[in-house]
Structure 1
Amino acid sequence: MRAKLTPLSALLAGIVGGALMAGCQTYDFEPVDPLAIAQTTKETVIAARKSKPDVMLLVDTSGSMTLPVNPELTVNGVRVCYLKDTQGRDYKCGEGTACDTSVCPTRWSELQGAMGPFLAESGKLVRFGLTTYPAPNTATTQTVALACAAATAGESVRLAIPTGLDSDEQLQAHATSLNAILQGIPNSGPNQPKGGTPTSGSVRFTGSLLTGDPEERDQIVLLLTDGLPNCNLENEYNGSQTECRCTLDDQCTAPLSPYYKRGCLDKNASVAAVEELKARKISTIVIGFGAETSAGDGPSVLNAMANAGGFARECKADVDCGAGDTCDLNAKRCGRAFYQAANREELAGALKNISEKLATTNPCFIGLDPSQLPSDNQLIVVYINGERTLQGPDTWTLGEGGVTFTGNACARLEASRPEAPVSVEVRAIRQL
């Protein structure tokens, strides 16, 4: 195999060769400082056309989603989220009495408002599906079993992942249909969000819907919840044990209560469900929405799930993590691993951040740190699949931030796929 002469070896060979040829003659030289140089070699395997990820949205439609985002919202001196009973006493709208979302936005109406732009922006990049939990329940007579039923086959799967689609146009149309289904779930009435938060069982079921090859395309569950996981009849704790963190006020203590186990916080089983998915190379993104997920037991539970899911919030500095949070510089993770939102704007911001992470990177640009850039444009060499490629308008150019591929070279990189990747090697010399 013929060895390639790197710019560094060529430079050194020239220096040594010149010294040998001049070995029999004597010259006077002025003393000079030794030349210090550094070589950078950056190898990148590009698969630009990586198959678009499968993302199943697992959306919490429990009764608390109909609660006001800001219960104390006041407009012109009037608390718009309060109503009056027959005796003239104030009470908050919510699960029992629907809020007027035109003046008092609820968690559900705010979620609907944020999801539209997210799906419009990301629809062509992802094969989305939609599952809601608890299982839809329109029964006239409500029971605890119905209220606590985890997502299951049937009506829980509002829209399956389109395994037969892949083009931008097809997937965007599919995402538009998904958004229409979400917008069609009313804030009040028989089909409104209702019931508990059976997270562990719903996560396990949703994972069973992701059957693609994770080596070919990413498999992801995007969990969006506003409450603490509960409703697990097989919970390891019951209301008589101190380990039971009751999520329903005092309804967990009586042995005959239907919430004796169901009402206890279902943290361990929920984290275990996420870990089971991760063992199958299915990642879980966790978004908390509302007051319950930002205080009390909420952060601990969702943090554990987000860390187990393999999609924790990343950072390079504290500023990346937002107010009140810090960055672990060694792990490059925020202290709060999950995404938290209190209103539509914050939820839209979290979804946009996730959308950017799901999007593919620009295959026609290879960034170089300032310390990696050559000290002269002549001291850089680029190889594509082992073949040296000269700089030019149809190949590549060197800029302040790195190497930009253009023309046919860029088209070649854009056409790469996981099964047919393109290897790019950049070698640069910098005089120190």
Structure 2
Amino acid sequence: MRAKLSLLSAFAVGLLGGAAVSGCQTYDFEPVDPLALAQTTVGDVITAQALKPNLMVLLDTSGSMTLPVNTRDPNCYRANNTPSPDDDYCGQTPSTACDTSKCPTRWSELQGAMSRFLSESGGVARMGLTTYPGPAVGSNSLRCEASTVVNKNIPQSDADEALLGAANDIQSVILGIPNAGTNAPSGGTPTSLSLQFVGQQPDVQATDRDNFVLLLTDGLPNCNPDNQNAGTNVDACQCTLANIGNNTGCQGDYVRRGCLDKDASVVAVEDLKRKGIRTIVVGFGAETATGNGPATLNAMATAGDFARSCRDDPNACGAGDTCDAQTKLCGRRFYQAANQEELAEALREIIDLVGTKDICLLALTPEQLPTDNNANLVVVYVNDQIVASGADTWSLTDKGVQFVGSTCDRIKNSTPSNPIKVEVRAVQKK
């Protein structure tokens, strides 16, 4: 008795038999690309009432803050009322401090802008303050230490009185730092290490509200003793310090501390994001607007999940900037200011975004939206129950899932003791 053919043998026989019947025929096959699918899941637990965001201001008080806002201002020249080849303007050493009544410095302009910001917007968020570099350690301090102290803790109340009081206290601290003399801005810019310190604070790790770090800096990050680059390799180091004669300034105690600390700063921002803390990056002054400044701060702003957006207005990025049609982000992802007015405007724009949130919108980035914005490729859960789209539930927009009707009302009426859990799953063709 013959054994049964195996599946593979039967398949081979079928092919041979088919060839015998059909004879010599040829077929043209068109290549078909395999379909690849990806799924994005975005969720949030919403508590709508009386939950103002936490905002820790991480303020750069390095020595470059005492430089003039405009180094070409004749009132800022130290001699002969003309610029000299060695950039002979005030503020470069403690003994040549600028007269801020005639020559505004970065610090005096920042004080003015922050005073306005805190007076006008102090009740929008629960604000705290940390300055860096940290306090000098010993008589031989390099003034390159990271923050070790929170100057003003974030208040634990949402009451307007408490928030305005905290903002007033922060304003007093900032105004109390003189432009020259004892306790004036000095030292380097240990950004990565100070971001790490801030990220360890319980004040910005709340699980029931949004958490932000507002990084305001006028210089490139440095002061990392563990920087993987060193001044012995000039190209890799990208020294942030002035040359000493014909030699790099990144030598001796600053052989690593003086090198650009971009990579570690970006990693520090990414670590904050993993903790649920978004970082807002503001550059103030010439160093952040030129050279390595834009690329460094751009990378940090992107990692911090608070990049400047042109999603609602392609002209929102302003003159001289571009709007990426794909990501809907500005070419300059961070906020940049050159003087008090520009800084005040940037802070107003930021606080409007921080303090105003459409709680009935679960935002999706362009990459997270379903293919062709097809609502049939979206599944929405409210409190773990699937909810179909409709006039009383939700609709898909180019910004994400917009809850409407009674579903939006449920979200608006949520409280810390009765939160609403929402989740969106969207499919994209790759």
TM-score (norm 2): 0.70
In 1: Cα distance, 2:46 partner to 2:193 partner: 38
CA offsets 1:363-396 (integer angstroms, 9 cap, x no match): 799xxxxxxxxxxxxxxx97599xxxxxxxxxxx
Q: 1:169 corresponds to which residue?
A: 161
Q: Secondary structure at the match of 2:291?
A: coil
Q: 1:305 corresponds to which residue?
A: 300
Give the C-alpha shift of residue 258 in structure 1: 1.5
Q: 1:150 corresponds to which residue?
A: 146
Q: 1:9 corresponds to which residue?
A: none
Q: Secondary structure at the match of 2:278?
A: strand
CA offsets 1:191-217 (integer angstroms, 9 cap, x no match): 100001111111100111145554411
Q: 1:374 corresponds to which residue?
A: none
Mapping of residues 77-226 of structure 1, within 5 Å: 79-84=74-79, 91-96=88-93, 97-137=96-136, 143=140, 145-153=141-149, 157-163=150-156, 165-211=157-203, 213-226=205-218
- Taking structure 1 as reference, are residues 422 and 262 closer, same or farther at Cα in structure 2, changes over 3 Å only? closer
- Taking structure 1 as reference, are residues 65 and 415 closer, same or farther at Cα in structure 2, changes over 3 Å only? same
Mapping of residues 360-399 of structure 1, within 5 Å: 360-361=356-357, 383=392
Q: 2:236 corresponds to which residue?
A: 243
Q: 1:328 corresponds to which residue?
A: 324
Q: Is the 8 A contact 2:310 2:317 kept in 1?
A: yes
Match of 1:263 among 255, 258, 264: 258
Mapping of residues 23-62 of structure 1, within 5 Å: 47-49=47-49, 51-62=51-62
- Taking structure 1 as reference, are residues 253 and 125 closer, same or farther at Cα in structure 2, changes over 3 Å only? same
In 1: Cα distance, 2:342 partner to 2:122 partner: 20
In 1: Cα distance, 2:341 partner to 2:55 partner: 22
Q: 1:36 corresponds to which residue?
A: none
Structure 1: where are the runs of 5+ without partners? 1-43, 74-78, 366-380, 386-401, 425-432
Q: Is the 8 A contact 2:56 2:204 kept in 1?
A: no
Residue correspondences, number = 334
Q: Is the 8 A contact 1:47 1:416 kept in 2?
A: yes
Give the C-alpha shift of residue 276 in structure 1: 1.1
Q: 2:309 corresponds to which residue?
A: 314
Q: Is the 8 A contact 1:55 1:129 kept in 2?
A: yes
Give the C-alpha shift of residue 347 in structure 1: 0.5
Residues 1:293 and 2:288 aligned together:
yes
Letter in 1 for 2:163: L
- When structure 1 is superposed on structure 2, of 213-222 and 334-343 the one drifting more is 213-222
Give the C-alpha shift of residue 127 in structure 1: 1.0
Q: Is the 8 A contact 1:98 1:188 kept in 2?
A: yes
Q: Is the 8 A contact 2:250 2:257 kept in 1?
A: no
Give the C-alpha shift of residue 331 in structure 1: 1.3
Letter in 1 for 2:49: R
Q: 2:365 corresponds to which residue?
A: none
In 2: Cα distance, 1:138 partner to 1:105 partner: 30
Q: Secondary structure at the match of 2:288?
A: coil
Residues 1:343 and 2:336 aligned together:
no
Give the C-alpha shift of residue 342 in structure 1: 0.5
Q: Is the 8 A contact 2:154 2:203 kept in 1?
A: no
Q: 2:415 corresponds to which residue?
A: 417
- Taking structure 1 as reference, are residues 150 and 325 closer, same or farther at Cα in structure 2, changes over 3 Å only? same
Residues 1:358 and 2:357 aligned together:
no
Q: Secondary structure at the match of 2:118?
A: helix
Give the C-alpha shift of residue 361 in structure 1: 3.9
Q: Is the 8 A contact 1:130 1:158 kept in 2?
A: yes
Aligned-residue sequence identity (percent) comes to 53
Q: 2:374 corresponds to which residue?
A: none
TM-score (norm 1): 0.70
- When structure 1 is superposed on structure 2, of 109-118 and 314-323 the one drifting more is 314-323
Give the C-alpha shift of residue 171 in structure 1: 0.7
Give the C-alpha shift of residue 84 in structure 1: 3.3
Match of 2:279 among 263, 277, 284: 284
- Taking structure 1 as reference, are residues 338 and 95 closer, same or farther at Cα in structure 2, changes over 3 Å only? same
Q: Is the 8 A contact 1:313 1:334 kept in 2?
A: yes
